[in-house]
Amino acid sequence: MTELGNRLKEAREEKGMSLDDLQAATKIQKRYLTALEEGNYDIIPGKFYVRAFIKQYAEAVGLNSELLFEEFKKDIPNSYNDEVSDKLSSIKPQRELPKSASKALELLPTLLVVAGVIVVVAIIYVIIQAVNSGGNQQSAEQPKTEESQSKYDVSKDSPLTKENQKDANADKNSGADDKEKDDQQSDEKEKLSIKAVSSEGTSTTYEISGADKLELEVKASADSWVRVRDEKGSSLKEGMMKKGETFQKNITEQEQIDLRIGYAPGVEIKINGEALSYELDPKNVMTQNITIQNKKEEKSS
């Protein structure tokens, strides 16, 4: 096992991830992950994939891939020669076209221009015909429309008019009630405050205040390892979450919730339906520790 392989394996074990967990998070076959830890690069198809797999492995376990490449550049194969040879082998000598084909290519621009002119003329003709027929039809139907409107005019005092007025007033009142409910829901949502108060390394602390009830929701948009603990350190959720899986928990009575996310780009955290915005960019810090503190004294005031 190489020194680089030891470094990768130690970081994986510190996160409590098995090779199966890492395979689910990186989409790299388990045998290739084992080869990286053992320094056996011969079974990996090409030097380019060796470097790509090392980068994905490192980011999944919270290591800086650029620093690894710099520190172990003597042990990691350089993919430059492979890329140059692949590009040279992919270049094929051009074959001369037959004379008949070259003449056809010379005439192609002219044929395209003629075809384009014909299409434009046809479109203009269709538009003119549509405008003319539409004008004639409108002038012919206008007297009929006026006649039908006068035929079905209803006086202001008729029962039909009064009934319609009642329905209109009822709809108006219903709309006002719905608007009042929406305003109340909006005010309650505005009371919720989610604020990042500190951030260090891969850890961020958020303070939540202003809501009578707190509902935590963790949803996986991609496979990721997730751990959720309450204020006493008891595990509420731990293990791999498959894509589309959701974990929900009422945390109103909890003063603090601790989360560890193995693959942050694939996990969304919500409080009362409002998404928690990662203070640390998930693309740069894929493994993150999230602490949520419930400021009960602010909520009660």
Global pTM value: 0.40
Higher-scoring residue by pLDDT: 83, 125: 125
pLDDT digits (tens, 9 = 90+) for 9-44: 999 999 999 999 999 999 999 999 999 988 888 889
Closest to 22 measured CA to CA, from 249, 286, 282: 286
pLDDT digits (tens, 9 = 90+) for 207-218: 998 888 979 898
Q: Report if residue 102 sits inside a domain.
A: no
Give the model's pLDDT for residue 227.
95
Q: Which of 90, 109, 127 is the last residue of a domain?
A: 90
> How far is the C-alpha of 243 from the C-alpha of 269, rounded, in Å?
14
Q: Report if residue 40 sits inside a domain.
A: yes
Is the pLDDT reported for residue 300 higher than 60? no
Is the pLDDT reported for residue 137 higher than 60? yes
Q: What percent of the chain has pLDDT over 90?
A: 46
The mean predicted confidence, pLDDT, of the chain is 80
Q: Which of 68, 90, 112 is the last residue of a domain?
A: 90
Q: Report if residue 218 sits inside a domain.
A: yes
Q: Report if residue 249 sits inside a domain.
A: yes
Q: Report if residue 69 sits inside a domain.
A: yes
What domain range is 58 assigned to?
Answer: 3-90
Q: Report if residue 289 sits inside a domain.
A: yes
Q: Report if residue 134 sits inside a domain.
A: no
Domain count, the chain: 2
Q: Which of 41, 58, 90 is the last residue of a domain?
A: 90
> What confidence category does residue 46 fall into, taking pLDDT thresholds of 50, 70 and 90?
confident
Higher-scoring residue by pLDDT: 250, 145: 250
How far out from the chain centre does Cα 75 lie?
36
Q: Report if residue 128 sits inside a domain.
A: no
Of 11-20, 83-92, 170-179, the one with minimum mean pLDDT is 83-92
> What confidence category does residue 77 fall into, taking pLDDT thresholds of 50, 70 and 90?
confident
Q: What average pLDDT does this structure show over 80-100?
A: 48
Query: What is the domain-level CATH number for residue 38?
Result: 1.10.260.40
DSSP-derived pairing of the beta strands 193-200 and 274-275: unpaired
What are the Cα distances from residue 117, in Å, to 114, 124, 187, 266? Answer: 5, 11, 61, 52
Is the pLDDT reported for residue 270 higher than 90? yes
> What confidence category does residue 73 fall into, taking pLDDT thresholds of 50, 70 and 90?
confident
DSSP-derived pairing of the beta strands 203-209 and 288-294: parallel
> How far is the C-alpha of 123 from the C-alpha of 126, rounded, in Å?
5
Give the model's pLDDT for residue 90.
46
